[in-house]
Structure 1
Amino acid sequence: MQIRRINTNEAKLFFNCLKNIDRETKFMMLEPDERHFDEKKMQEILGDKDDYFIAAFNDGEIIGFLSAQRGKYKRIRHSAYIVIGIRQSFQKQGIGSKLFDKLEEWAKENRLKRLELTVEVSNTIAINLYKRQGFVIEGTKKNTMFVDGVFVDEYMMAKVY
């Protein structure tokens, strides 16, 4: 397994990973049928030098990813919003921790002061990973998503340097 930045020419690989994760879990934002491939748009997103898109590669396939989208405006330039996803069959193998280790390097290189994310309150595996990485719960967002006919809450979590 290799963890590295995703290249723009790997847009389709990244998209396939996202689609697979959408099918395997209800903890991500999109339903399985909501994501559509637009290669040009995906390449633009991956090519944004301010943001950070890394992946865990295994046998030519992306099996997990972490994205950090940095604040675009001066007042929030010191922060980044984090999204992470790992294919179900590769979870609980330390991949999430390795992705966060790479994030930590990037955050320090870029002098970030705040990393933030949201997570469904019932996603205890992810919450425990984030806490081990130094994130703390800052609050609860009520009824943020509607999953399988039920409104679910999310924690707002952050790591401040």
Structure 2
Amino acid sequence: MENLIYVVRDLSYVVRVAQEADAKALSQVRLQIDGETEYLDREQGEGYLSESDFKELIHKDRTEANRLFLVAESQGAIIGFSRCAGSDLKRLSHQVEFGVGVLKDYWGYRVGKELLQQSIHWFENNRILKITLRVLETNEKAIEMYKRSGFEVEGVLKKDKRLSDGNYYSTILMARFT
């Protein structure tokens, strides 16, 4: 995949395939993103991935046909990332699960949308039949973006997550098919 440059208002950024040299920055960015939103599964520090963990992940994602790890970079700093992770199991090898994270300072610059669009382009050109994702019911902007990108609701996991307000929220399961 070639590097793609985007300019949105006053921000210029590139979307590209992750390199092992990105591992340290990705570890820090993921930790920061987890502390900036409750839309993700983790609280800050949970499920921590170190630099070496990211190096392993990136290496596997670069060598397996049903995996893609993208980063968004602005002025030499990673501002977001996405992954499409496929299964090693034959019965599930036709699908990938999409996940995305963008630093809060960069929300509204279409970073998540461009990471998603490049993932869709990759998925459509790599004989993968289904791309899935999970989104918290309160993340209305993301749900609308996914629907506009051809995703449909496949199901709902009721009272799936308990957030800091003590209430339980549902997770929406979405998919797009080729």
TM-score range for the pair, normalised by the shorter chain length: over 0.9
* 1:41 aligned residue (38, 53, 57): 53
**2:73 is equivalent to residue 57 of structure 1:** yes
Residue deviations 1:44-73 (CA, integer Å, cap 9, x gap): 111112221101101221111111001221
2:170 to 140, 153, 157: 153
Write out per-residue CA displacement over residues 90-139 of structure 1, whole angstroms, 9 at most, x where no aligned residue: 11222222112211221123211000001011100110111111111111
Deviation at 1:20, TM superposition (A): 1.4
- Residue 38 (structure 2) aligned to one of 16, 26, 37: 26
Does the CA-based 8 Å contact 2:27-2:50 persist in structure 1? no
Partner of 2:10: none
SS at match of 1:75: helix
The answer for the alignment partner of 2:157 in structure 1 is 141
Q: How many angstroms apart in 2 are the aligned matches of 1:14 and 1:29?
A: 17
For structure 1, list consecutive stretches of 5 or more residues without a partner in the other structure. Answer: none
Contact 1:96/1:129, CA 8 A, preserved across alignment: no
Runs of 4+ in 1 over 4 A off after TM superposition: none
Which stretch shows the higher mean deviation, 19-28 or 98-107?
Answer: 98-107
Q: What's 1:103 paired with?
A: 119
Aligned mates of 1:139, 1:109 — CA distance in 2: 26
Q: 1:61 is aligned with what amino acid?
A: A
Q: Distance in 1 between matches of 2:152 and 2:169?
A: 20
- What is residue 98 of structure 2 aligned with on the other side? 82
In 2, the alpha carbon distance for the partners of 1:41 and 1:87 equals 20
Q: Specify the alignment match of 1:69 in structure 2.
A: 85
Q: Which runs of 5+ in 2 are unaligned?
A: 1-12
How far off its partner does 1:35 sit?
4.2
CA–CA distance in 1 between the matches of 2:39 and 2:131? 20
**Paired residues of 1:19 and 1:35 also in contact (CA < 8 A):** no
TM-score when scaled to structure 1? Answer: 0.94
